[in-house]
Amino acid sequence: MPLVVSLARSKPAAVAGAQVVLRPPVAADFEPWARLRHDSRNFLKPWEPTWASDELSKEAFRRRLRRYSQAARDGTGHIFFVFDKKTGALVGGCQLSNIRQGVAQSAATLGYWMGEPFAGKGLMTDAVTALTRYCLTKLGLHRIEAACLPDNAASRRVLAKAGFVEEGIARRYLKINGQWRDHLLFAIIEDDLPSARPPKG
């Protein structure tokens, strides 16, 4: 399956949406990343795993980059930071993890976070739409899955607008903010993209 091997063994390219550009993080992103995460901590806390005591340190960021690079080399995951096209500001991030090859040919998990100052502007919907389209049409992935807390209305809107279909619920799926929480499960396949649908009438 050469397209999936290409994803697994090469550095992913930048992905452009209508309003944002996604690219892998680099060391120079530390300060804007740490600042945005710090300023958005209370906004993000209800939706994320408990932060480590050194969550925003430079050394922790270096460790993150090493893990990201290893996952990319292994073909199991890719991280993208999301930037506003107009201003160049870092606004959030997207993660593809648990990429499976072989018969599944599926990116098992899409995760994302948005900095509080940029929420509600359509930027994450644009990012998720662009990234999933890129993965499904250019990289040969067959299926991308995502999960969100049932009470995270903003995340549910992002997934719905990006074309994801709700498939069910996973009990005590992830430990969020110190508690095991149920999650709604969503997925998108290439057939769900507007370009793949037959014309009406």
Look at residue 142 in the predicted model and tell me its pLDDT: 87
List the chain residues with pLDDT less than 50. Answer: 1-9, 198-199, 201
Neighbours of 102 (CB within 10 A): 8
Look at residue 9 in the predicted model and tell me its pLDDT: 47
Condensed to tens digits (0 to 9), the pLDDT of residues 100-138 reads 876 656 666 899 999 999 999 999 999 999 999 998 888
Domains belonging to the chain, first-starting first, are 2-145 (3.40.630.30)
109 within 8 A of 89, measured Cβ to Cβ: no
Phi, psi of 21 (to 5 degrees): -125, 135
- Residue showing tokens 């309003």: 19
